[in-house]
Amino acid sequence: MEKAAIGIDLGGTNLKGIIMNDKGQGRHLTRVPTEAEKGGAHVLENILVLIEKLIAQEGSKDHISGVGIGTPGFVDDDGTVLGGAENLPGWKGTQIYKPILEKFGLKAIAANDVTVAALAEAKYGAGKGVRNSVCFALGTGIGGGIVIENHLYKGTHGMAGELGHIVVETNGIPCNCGQKGCVERYASATGIVNLAKKLSAEKKGKDETQFTKEVNGNPSAVTSKMVYDFVKKSDPVAMNVNEIACDMLARAVGITLNALSPDRVILGGGVMMAGQVIIDTVSKYTPRYCWPAIWERCEIVIAQLGEDAGVLGSGAMVFEELAIIC
Amino acid sequence: MEKAAIGIDLGGTNLKGIIMNDKGQGRHLTRVPTEAEKGGAHVLENILVLIEKLIAQEGSKDHISGVGIGTPGFVDDDGTVLGGAENLPGWKGTQIYKPILEKFGLKAIAANDVTVAALAEAKYGAGKGVRNSVCFALGTGIGGGIVIENHLYKGTHGMAGELGHIVVETNGIPCNCGQKGCVERYASATGIVNLAKKLSAEKKGKDETQFTKEVNGNPSAVTSKMVYDFVKKSDPVAMNVNEIACDMLARAVGITLNALSPDRVILGGGVMMAGQVIIDTVSKYTPRYCWPAIWERCEIVIAQLGEDAGVLGSGAMVFEELAIIC
C-alpha cells in the first residue's frame, strides 16, 4: 500500500487531522475539540483520540510512516513543548512523541504551526517548484516559516521563523514581546484594525470618508476584511491604511530577502483574503528595503492552501523526517 | 592518498590558496597578486596560475576533489559572477567553473567570501559542534554568512547573508545600498570611526577627553583599533562609541536570532581585534531585541580562524558540494 502520513493541526478550538500521501493528497479529514481549557495532558489525550479515529477510518496503520503535528509555540528536538503557546495552558512541558509511539507504535514529529504551514506551501502550494521560500502568515499576529533547500528550517530547538517580531520602526508601537515597532504591530489583522481606528479618529469631524464614518461609529466592529472592502471601493483613508501596513510589511520582507535571498515570499493568513492588492502594494515597497539583485530574483505571492496548510504541512514533515527511518 | 581540496580566497590585492584535508588542515599556503585593475579575465588567469602553483607543490592532482573559491560579490549556481564585487572591475559576468575544469579537469565551486568564511568557522572554528550558526564580519562594511544544519546556505543565486544591510534605525544614516539606517553604517569599522568623529566633535571645547582630543586633532587618522584602545583605558567617549555601535549591532543580531534561532552568532572581521568587550556589550543589548527563549539557547562568540577563514571555507565547500560526486 502507498506510504501514508497522519497530519494533525492543533488549534485553540479544534484538532484537525488527515491521512495523506507524499503528494499532499489527503483523506478522512477529521475534527475533534481541542478542549484547551482542560490543560496540556487532556489536549494530548485528544490528539491520541484523533489519531485513533483516523487509523480506524483508514482500516490499517501498517503503511503509515508517522504522525506530524503542527502546534502553536516551540517544540524541542525530543518532542517537548518549550513554550510560546499562550492559548494552550499547561501545554508547555508536554512530551508529545512518547505517548504516540507507545500507543500506536508510530513515530511523531512536531513543529510550530505556522512553520509547518510554510512547508506545506513550499511542497504543495505557492512555493512549489522553487528551493527556498519564506512565509509570512498575517493573522491576529504575524507568524513565519522558512524553507531552505526544500527542507523546513526549524532551528535546533524549533524556534526559527519568528518573522513577526522583526522591528520595522525604531521606537514604534510597543509589542507584547517587549520590543517596540515589531512588524506584527502594523501588518497583522490587529495592526491593520488599530491603524484604521487611529487614522479614522484623526479625521473625526473633518474630511470624513464613508470608511471613517463607519469606523468611528462602531470602532469595536472594525476588521481587516472591512478595511479591504473599502480599499476595493477606493476609499482614500482605507487605502492609506493599506499603504502604511504594506510599507511596514515590506520592511520586514526586505530584511528577510537580504538575509535569505529566497526565491519566493509567500503571504498567507486571514488578512490575505484581501488578495492581490496586498501583494501589489508590498511588491511596490519591498525594493526600497533590499538589494536590487536579490529583489530581481524573488517574487511575492499569495498562499494557496488556505486552512489546509496546517494538516498538509504536518504530514509533509513525516515524509521529510520520518519516512525513511521507519 | 587522503582526499584533498584546493581553497582559494580572492581578495582585492592578493589571491591566497591552500591545499587542505576535510579536517581543515592546510598546506602549501601560496599568494599571487590579484591584479584586479587589469580586469576580470586577468583575475581569472591569475586564479589558474595559483591553482597550477598549488598542484605543482602538491606533486599530484589525482586526490584533489575540486577547487573552492571565495570571492567578493555573488556567484550563481552555474559559476557566473552576478555582481556585488565593486572593487573587481570586469569580474561581474565572469564564468569561473569552466576554465578550471578545462585546464585541470577539476570541478570548481565558488561563493561569497564572507559566506565562505562563515562555513569555515562553522566547521573548524567558533561554530564547531553546533548545527546552526550565523556570522557577522565586521570590516570596512559588514558581511554575513549563514550555516544551516551544518551546510552553508547560499540561497538559490548565491546571494544570501547580506546581514550588514539589516535596517536598525528608521531614517538613520544613509547607506550606499540606498536604504537608511543599515547596521553597517554603525557597527562596521567605518561606522565606528564616523561615530567617534561625531561624538568627539560634539565635545569640542567642553568636556574633552584624551580620546576626543586625539580624534579632533587628527580625524583622518582615527581607526576602530584606536577607539578600542581608548575603550580599554575606560575613556568615557570611546566607551560611549562602543555602547552605541554594539547596541546597533545587537538589533541586527536580535532580528537574525528571531528569524533563524541559531545556536551561535559568530562575530569576526578586523573590528573584532578588540575582542571580548564587543562580545560582552552586544550580549548585553541583544536580549532587548529577541525572544527570551531564543536568546537562552544562543551564545555570541568571537571568530577563531582569522584571515585563514577564507581559504579554509573555500576548501570546505569542495568537501561539502563536490567531494562525493568526484
pLDDT computed for residue A322 by the predictor: 84
**Per-residue pLDDT tens over the stretch A58-111:** 999 999 999 999 999 999 989 999 988 888 999 999 999 999 999 999 999 999
What are the beta bridge partners of residue B26?
B20
- CA B94/CA A202 separation, integer angstroms: 56
Task: Inspect the interface and report whether the beta carbons of A165 and B262 lie closer than 8 Å.
Answer: no
Say if residue A151 is in the same domain as residue A209.
yes
- CA A39/CA B325 separation, integer angstroms: 52
ipTM of this complex prediction, to 2 decimal places = 0.91
For residue B131, what is the nearest residue in chain A, using CA coordinates? A156
Q: Which of B82, B258, B288 sits opposite A162 (nearest CB)?
A: B258
Output the nine-digit C-alpha cell for A218.
462602531
Say if residue B131 is in the same domain as residue B98.
no
Say if residue B181 is in the same domain as residue B161.
yes
Q: What is the mean pLDDT of chain A?
A: 95
How far apart are the CA of B127 and the nearest CA of chain A, in angstroms?
Answer: 14
Output the nine-digit C-alpha cell for A324.
525513511
Kindly tell me if the per-residue pLDDT of B326 is higher than 50: no
- CA A250/CA A30 separation, integer angstroms: 37
Output the nine-digit C-alpha cell for A323.
519516512
pLDDT computed for residue A83 by the predictor: 82
Say if residue B64 is in the same domain as residue B30.
yes
Say if residue B137 is in the same domain as residue B196.
yes
pLDDT computed for residue A226 by the predictor: 97
pLDDT computed for residue B325 by the predictor: 41
Task: Inspect the interface and report whether the beta carbons of B255 and A74 lie closer than 8 Å.
Answer: no
Q: Which of A32-41, A91-100, A315-324, B250-259 has the lowest mean pLDDT?
A: A315-324
Surface-to-core class of residue A131, CB atoms within 10 Å of its CB (0-12 exposed, 13-18 middle, 19+ buried): middle
Interior angle at CA A25, CA A22 and CA A27, nearest 5: 120
Q: Which of A188-202, A216-230, B147-161 has the lowest mean pLDDT?
A: B147-161
Say if residue B109 is in the same domain as residue B143.
no
Q: Which helix (H) or strand (E) holds B119?
A: helix B113-124
Q: Which of A131, A165, A293 sits opposite B74 (nearest CB)?
A: A293
Specify the number of domains making up chain B.
2
Rounded to an integer, the average pLDDT of B235-256 is: 98
Q: What is the CATH number of the domain that holds B138?
A: 3.30.420.40
Say if residue B111 is in the same domain as residue B241.
no
For residue B264, what is the nearest residue in chain A, using CA coordinates? A156
A18: left (phi over 0), alpha (psi -120 to 50) or beta: beta
**Per-residue pLDDT tens over the stretch B39-96:** 999 999 999 999 999 999 999 999 999 999 999 999 998 999 998 888 899 999 999 9
For residue A295, what is the nearest residue in chain B, using CA coordinates? B159
Say if residue B184 is in the same domain as residue B198.
yes
Range of the domain at B31: 4-117+307-322
Task: Inspect the interface and report whether the beta carbons of B170 and A181 lie closer than 8 Å.
Answer: yes
pLDDT computed for residue B215 by the predictor: 97
Q: How far, CA to CA in Å, does A191 sit from each of A184, B166, B321?
A: 7, 22, 44
Distance of CA A264 to the CA centre of its chain: 16
Q: Please enumerate in sequence order all residues whose Cβ is within 8 A of that of A265, keeping only pairs 6 or more positions apart, or say none.
A: A133, A134, A135, A136, A253, A256, A257, A298, A299, A300, A301
**Per-residue pLDDT tens over the stretch A110-167:** 999 999 999 999 999 999 999 999 999 999 999 999 999 999 999 988 899 999 999 9
- Tell the residue number behind the cell numbers 584571515, with chain if given: B307
What are the DSSP E strand ranges found in chain B?
4-10, 14-20, 26-33, 64-71, 74-75, 81-83, 108-112, 133-138, 142-148, 151-153, 264-268, 299-302
Q: How far, CA to CA in Å, does A104 sit from each of A46, A70, A78, A87, A326?
A: 14, 19, 18, 28, 13
**B101 closest CA partner among B150, B28, B51, B145:** B51
Decide: A119 and A147 in contact? Cβ < 8 Å. Answer: yes
- CA A83/CA A79 separation, integer angstroms: 12
Say if residue B99 is in the same domain as residue B142.
no
pLDDT computed for residue A325 by the predictor: 41
Decide: A139 and A189 in contact? Cβ < 8 Å. Answer: yes
- CA A276/CA A132 separation, integer angstroms: 22
**Per-residue pLDDT tens over the stretch B258-290:** 999 999 999 999 999 999 999 999 999 999 999
Question: Count of alpha carbons within 13 Å of A164, Cβ hemisphere only?
Answer: 29
Q: What residues of chain B lie within 8 A of the CB of A149, using their CB?
A: 151, 153
Surface-to-core class of residue A53, CB atoms within 10 Å of its CB (0-12 exposed, 13-18 middle, 19+ buried): middle
pLDDT computed for residue A86 by the predictor: 80
Decide: A173 and A205 in contact? Cβ < 8 Å. Answer: no
Say if residue B271 is in the same domain as residue B311.
no
pLDDT computed for residue B180 by the predictor: 93
- CA B34/CA B301 separation, integer angstroms: 32
Rounded to an integer, the average pLDDT of B139-163 is: 93
Q: Which of B156, B169, B291 sits opposite A263 (nearest CB)?
A: B156
Q: What residues of chain B lie within 8 A of the CB of A251, using their CB?
A: 167
Q: What is the DSSP letter of A306?
A: G
Say if residue B250 is in the same domain as residue B311.
no
**B113 closest CA partner among B187, B253, B11:** B11
Q: What is the mean pLDDT of chain B?
A: 95
Say if residue B100 is in the same domain as residue B245.
no
Q: How far, CA to CA in Å, does B6 sit from each of A206, B27, B103, B290?
A: 71, 10, 15, 39
Which pTM does this prediction carry? 0.93
pLDDT computed for residue A326 by the predictor: 37
How far apart are the CA of A221 and the nearest CA of chain B, in angstroms?
Answer: 32
A324 — pLDDT class (breaks 50, 70, 90): low
Decide: B244 and B191 in contact? Cβ < 8 Å. Answer: no
- CA A298/CA A192 separation, integer angstroms: 25
